[in-house]
Structure 1
Amino acid sequence: MKVLIDMNLSPQWVKPLTESGFEVLHWFTTGNPGAPDSEIFEFARLNEYTIITHDMDFTQLLALTGAENPSVILIRSKNIMIKSFSEKLIQTLNENREVILDGAILVIDDDKMRIRILPLK
């Protein structure tokens, strides 16, 4: 699975995700760090990446466009430190691989995970 880490998450997320078998890019090394979310969204859509973010704007773009992709993993935890959250994120990605590849929003917080299938209606 190909994942694109948004600017609001540390580039240090690349290592544990790569070590877990994911093809990982961080936007900082891929595009203009000041690019609008719409540019990141379009890059992910065209190149079949799932966006991992701490930013609600990507879910809003999916709602506005009615797009079927890219999938978005929205981390809603207050603690987004890699040590605290990487295991949960990796487990969520592995357990939900098919639904992510088909197009979905996964919202992960400290206690639960919610899935919305794309396109949003």
Structure 2
Amino acid sequence: MTTHSPPPAAPGIALEIAASTFAALGSEQRLSVLRSLVRAGPEGLSIGELGERCGVTGSTLTHHVKTLTQVGLVKQTRKGRSVICAAVAYHEIRALTDFLLSECCADSTNPQDHHRHE
């Protein structure tokens, strides 16, 4: 009987960190908030503009931004009377993608599978 050990975490990101970050992104609204901030670029968006763009407002938006901030994907800063939110973890977002694809098709017996996702 052959036993398989779990695959190692991808270089650059620990399994636990990937899991908690993916958990934070496990909401359509949070994913929409992050996508809106990524689209806005490093200058970010005011909380009001963010709400308009992603269709989430009030305490719900505050909760989602807080969750994304806790996992290090978003940063909030005060600019005068406005709160500006910005995606700050572009490297970490890329690392999550690499985490998923780093061992793509590693256990496949078909050599062509190894080249499909490169």
TM tier relative to shorter chain: under 0.3
TM-score (norm 2): 0.26
Larger radius of gyration: 2
Q: Higher helix share goes to which structure?
A: 2
| Greater fraction of residues in strand | 1
